[in-house]
Structure 1
Amino acid sequence: MYRTYTSRDLLSELGRLQRQFQRYANTPSSIRGDGRTEFPALNIGGTPDSVEIYAFAPGLDPKSIDVTIERGVLTVSGERSSELAGENRGEAVHIQERFVGKFRRAVSLSDDVDPTQVTARYVDGILCVSVKRRESAQRRHIEIH
């Protein structure tokens, strides 16, 4: 009749309650802004020719994603709608761990990128944004005479 919680179950349940509270209160995940609980998750890297940003956002319509660059800051924003079966029929939802709602992630770019040379594509739930580096910032081989 009564459920006995182990310490692992209790910590899992407390984590779920914290995430649920943060979602309803629209608060950041921690004081330090730990990106592991933000949506979409980001990977940022680079090549000698460009900066590459990957946003992991499965299940979105590419038209619902907005990518902008302003004053050296790349911003990815949009909204993920709820698609729970039965949600509109008044059925109760007991656990919802999938992020739903508006999102916004901002990344400061280095001074060596060209904000006019940006491409973005959304494939298999991953948004890939590539920002070319300025010609003057790219590596050059200088011949010695």
Structure 2
Amino acid sequence: MLHRNLFPRDVFAELDRLQRDVQDLFGLSPSIRGSARGGFPALNIGSTPRSVEVYAFAPGIDPATLELTLDRTVLTLSGERKPAEPPTEGSTTHVQERFAGRFRRVVNLPDDIDPDAVTADYRDGVLHVSVQRRATALPRRIDVQ
């Protein structure tokens, strides 16, 4: 049995550990709707005047197993990450920080996106999703007569 301090120095780290334990117990996804800490895959989301850009950092995942859906303005990324390697007989794992298991991330996008103009590319462990904005939503110059 591992020795645990009854008075943890970092309360937030202990709360994160407790949250992971509960999620593992019930098979819940690590994050839903934009929790910035502890979600897998980690996300970077930004926008330009012409598009919304989503980057999901998911190394070691077969891109064929990723499921990406867009329902109105809700982008959902789900899949499963296999364990790195099974423990050998007689070994004991003391710390396991690499996430393995099913995951799901949900991102609410702005209302001005074009659901017919979406591209997704997976390279070097990074999934890049680009969602174009509707042409009617783009800024345009109006000539004054």
Q: TM-score, normalised by structure 2?
A: 0.79
Deviation at 1:34, TM superposition (A): 3.1
Compared CA separation, residues 33 and 142, structure 1 to 2 (3 A) = closer
Farther off after superposition, 87-96 or 71-80:
87-96
What SS does the aligned partner of 2:79 have? Answer: strand
The 5 A counterparts of 1:33-48 are 34-48=35-49
> Hey, which of these two has a bigger chunk of helix by percent?
1
Paired residues, number: 142
Q: One-letter code of the match for 1:111?
A: D
Q: Are residue 115 (structure 1) and residue 138 (structure 2) matched?
A: no
- Equivalent-residue separation in structure 2 for 1:118 and 1:15 (angstroms): 34
- Equivalent-residue separation in structure 2 for 1:13 and 1:134 (angstroms): 44
Paired position in structure 1 for 2:78: 77
- Structure 1's unaligned 5+ residue stretches are none
Q: Are residue 97 (structure 1) and residue 97 (structure 2) matched?
A: yes
Compared CA separation, residues 38 and 12, structure 1 to 2 (3 A) = closer
- Equivalent-residue separation in structure 2 for 1:65 and 1:35 (angstroms): 21
What SS does the aligned partner of 1:87 have? Answer: coil
Compared CA separation, residues 122 and 29, structure 1 to 2 (3 A) = closer
Identity, % of aligned pairs?
52
Q: TM-score, normalised by structure 1?
A: 0.79
Compared CA separation, residues 141 and 8, structure 1 to 2 (3 A) = same
Compared CA separation, residues 28 and 117, structure 1 to 2 (3 A) = closer
Compared CA separation, residues 71 and 88, structure 1 to 2 (3 A) = farther
Q: CA RMSD in A?
A: 3.0
What SS does the aligned partner of 2:64 have? Answer: helix
What SS does the aligned partner of 1:19 have? Answer: helix
- Equivalent-residue separation in structure 2 for 1:125 and 1:99 (angstroms): 15
